[in-house]
Structure 1
Amino acid sequence: MARRPNRYTEEDFESLEGRASKTEQKKAVQRMAALGEELAKLNPKQIKNLPVEERLIEALLDAQTITSHEARRRQFQRVGKLLRNEDETMILSYLTPQQGAKKTAQLQRWTERMIAQGDPVIKEFMKAHNAAEHHPIRQHILRIQRDIAKNVSEEELTASKLKLFNYIQQVALLSDN
């Protein structure tokens, strides 16, 4: 068996940076399915008023009528798949009135503390929210810190922080149940 003559270079790893692993992708799909379950708890009028694709609205309304456990599971997988095409921030903003302004402000403080203090605060957050996972939070924070070090534009930095905040909101919604 021939050995690879060249070792991996920094470029090889940089091309993979930012890509989610298969496990992270699967967990993201599970989070989207769980968000779909939260959306399905809304009343039909609220679902019809969602600013999303018609297929997603129909899938959510269908999910409310399905009683079989396995059929519901498959339906929410489908809903999760449809949710991937939607704006995550908009969906979360539609669900956050259930959390309230006080909870949203608290989550914003968590986000700022995580960026400033790192791992100790992440561990504290994970104890308070059972749906939280260390790796995705850590990756978001590392991305934000790298953006700060590179002096990227304010829009890019805000977008990175928004991604972390969206993840924190998802975790909070899923942990409350």
Structure 2
Amino acid sequence: MTKQPDEWLDDVPDNDEEDEEIIWVSKSEIKRDAEELKRLGAELMELGSNSLDRIPLDEDLRSAIELAQKIKKEGRRRQMQLIGKMLRSRDEEPIRTALDKLKNRHNQQVALFHKLEMMRDRLVEQGDEAVAEVLALYPNADRQQLRAMIRNAQKEKAGNKPPKAYRQIFQYLRELAEA
């Protein structure tokens, strides 16, 4: 026996009851999320063992990443998919945070090196004026040693010799910055 149109609504629950909220996720969105996790896994695969130590990974995921680093060609792609699948079942936020810190620390170090290189160039070109600036920034710097290295760098530059003292100035500045 078929239902008449006015009886169709008999099976629909009343709106008086509290409805549970259902969140629908499209298949495309699920695929995008999976691809993003595979990219995260690929970034993790590019890291060395020292960097991986700084990222909160469980033992299974860590061993899968280390295995993927050893594999070549098609097997590597399949291993990347496995890593992506493993990441889906884990909280990815701490991993992303640690990875961002690693990248940011690298960027900060590069910026520091650029700053030190510019300071070294000023020291060689300007001499005592720049030495005063360096001593203001780094009070524990040795003025006499710094001036001797600057003189040697200027002599090397004038004589077209290899920049040994030039490198020594940079190393000295880096030691001062790290201290």
TM-score band, normalised by shorter chain: 0.3 to 0.5
Computing the radius of gyration from Cα coordinates, the structure with the larger value is 2
Compare relative contact order (CA 8 Å, sep 6+) and give the higher one, 1 or 2. Answer: 1
- With normalisation by structure 2, the TM-score equals 0.46
